[in-house]
Structure 1
């Protein structure tokens, strides 16, 4: 495992990249604007939307921008592709970027079925095949990594070029026979009881308040309240009953036997102030040959959503890795 070193690049090309990233962040990081996708400046890459229909007839929304090598962004539980606006604007200056809304999320159709990681990985497989991607790089955040692990387990990585795994533990639920060390390395957030209690609260009459409380723990204390409210707004696009079912399925997965089988260049990104402790991110990076690890400090917006709190650094780190 190689730790990524944050030096001060001196080449003119790198300075140009930093200027471009600052411009993209300025255009995209304003989540407090009237619309997450509105108000694009004319100089910014145009973000387009499209629809892909799965084998079980569900219409999935995706956002698209740029040209070049393909890069697919996968959001986490109860999030949306719209939250990746700053990343889409920055990455699309170098890549052909796609950001997929999982079923039930964002602008995708909201069927009554399929809210499990196995189905999400099938949706991902169908999307990759249907779009005929070649040499695809994939960035997954949180549950997006879980769907990616399931994809790797079922379909392998022959269509994948590089992976960016952003802040999730390999197993979110600690079982009664686990040691404290095992739970820490897994990044466990729940016990079986607390997981099902959380799901019940999401389904219940206080589901919106429960959602707000959960999301708030995923940011550093200084994150602006108006931007947090917009993140919650995107979360609530997934009906709470479906969110509860998906949370349980996601959190009961254990990917510790899958992660060591990943054999493409991989960047692992975590945060010192994240709900997933840095030990778990170190564990993930240690299992993948040659993987790089970047940990955002607490003073760098190093929460579960470091890519929203510090998009300039996050985007630069990812672009440096993708090349």
Structure 2
């Protein structure tokens, strides 16, 4: 969708409806369906597919971080969102690795990385990422983050500066997920808010409680459009649940309590901002981010293009081409 075209009243209503659904998803939950597991990087490869390698990086506090890697050339590092995994970037590992060295990282506690007792804060995840990037061979690096992965990137920038990062891809993250009391509807839309302080802590309590799995299923379902296949959705939920629920709840509170609106205007490298017309985060929040970064490119996926919070899974062909065009 052309970012200059206003949303229709219908699409605005869809966006509002989806955000309302997510806020009540913790109470409603959802059903888990079975499907065959996604392709394993260690297994046999279909003809024409990329060879995906797995590895482990150990942080300064002894935590093993699992990662998947494919391709050669200039590096592109992919950071998943809250409770998501490197394996969820499988379409990008396959397609983008034909042109670039692509690495998808499981953050601590997530996916197949170690599950330590602590460190589930954005600042610590950013330090983990900094250590990982500093140990990589080669030159400068493009870093892409989805959802909370953007917050990790923003914290990396705040703590360590540009370092080796020469390009950024920011995929659908609100500058401020939790609204302050008294904010107007316009302020909420531009900040991309999803929670109130009370609803954030209620959701975290649900995740950490005895119904944490059901709460998680409901939250994940609210992140996709209704046309996303049930078997693929079940796999996403399975990946999500690799992160222990109590730790996920603590990280959610830390993540959603951040307000990055003062930091975003300090970004001064070429940046691609990607959002979705029917994402949980209002498209105006992505437009705001793009306006703060000199020369930033903006792409908002329409509803018909799979423009949910997970547009890179709902429409990987369009997303992958967008990234390739940006990287040049």
Query: Normalising by the residue count of structure 1, what TM-score does the alignment of the two structures yield?
Result: 0.89
Q: Within 5 A, what are the aligned runs for 1:119-268?
A: 119-268=124-273
Q: Which residue of 1 aligns with 2:29?
A: none
Secondary structure in 2 matching 1:103:
coil
In structure 1, distance between residues paired with 2:86 and 2:270: 24
Aligned position for 1:321: 326
**Is the Cα–Cα contact under 8 Å of residues 64 and 99 in structure 1 kept in the other structure?**
yes
Q: Give 5+ residue unaligned stretches, structure 1.
A: 6-30
Write the mapping of 1:86-101 to structure 2, written as runs, cut at 5 A: 86-101=91-106
**Match of residue 50 from structure 2:** 45
Residue 272 of structure 1, aligned match among 267, 270, 277: 277
Answer whether contact 1:145 1:166 (CA < 8 A) is retained.
Answer: yes
TM superposition shift of 1:44 = 1.9
SS in 2 for 1:227: helix
Q: What is the aligned partner in structure 1 of residue 287 from structure 2?
A: 282
Q: In structure 2, how many angstroms separate the alpha carbons of the residues matched to 1:136 and 1:54?
A: 19
1:247-291: per-residue Cα shift (whole Å, max 9, x none)? 000000011011101001100000001000101000000000000
CA distance in 2, matches of 1:4, 1:184: 17
CA 1:36 to 1:234, structure 2 compared with 1: closer, same or farther past 3 Å? Answer: farther
Q: Is contact 1:76–1:140 with CA below 8 Å preserved after alignment?
A: yes
1:105 is paired with a residue of what secondary structure?
Answer: coil
Deviations 1:115-147 (A, max 9, x none): 000000000000011124521001110000000
Deviation of 1:222 after TM superposition, in Å, equals 1.3
User: 2-side partners of 1:168 and 1:256: how far apart?
Assistant: 12
The one of the two structures with greater contact order (alpha-carbon pairs below 8 A, sep at least 6) is 2
The answer to whether the 8 A contact 1:36-1:83 is kept is no
Runs of 5+ consecutive residues of structure 2 not aligned to the other structure: 6-33
Check conservation: 1:195, 1:248, Cα contact below 8 A: yes
Following superposition, the deviation at residue 43 of structure 1 comes to 2.4
Change (3 A) 1:4 1:179: closer
The C-alpha deviation readout for 1:203-246, integer Å capped at 9, x for no partner, is 11111111011011100011111111100000000000000000
Pick one of 83, 90, 111 that aligns with 2:88.
83
> 2:74 maps to what in 1?
69
SS at match of 2:223: coil
Determine the C-alpha separation between the residues in 2 that align with 1:59 and 1:253.
26
Q: CA deviation at 1:33?
A: 4.5
Q: CA offset at residue 40 of structure 1? A: 2.4
Report the Cα distance in structure 2 between the residues aligned to 1:82 and 1:166, rounded to whole angstroms.
17
Cα pair 1:4 1:292 within 8 Å, conserved? no
- Mapped partners of 2:82, 2:63: distance in 1: 18
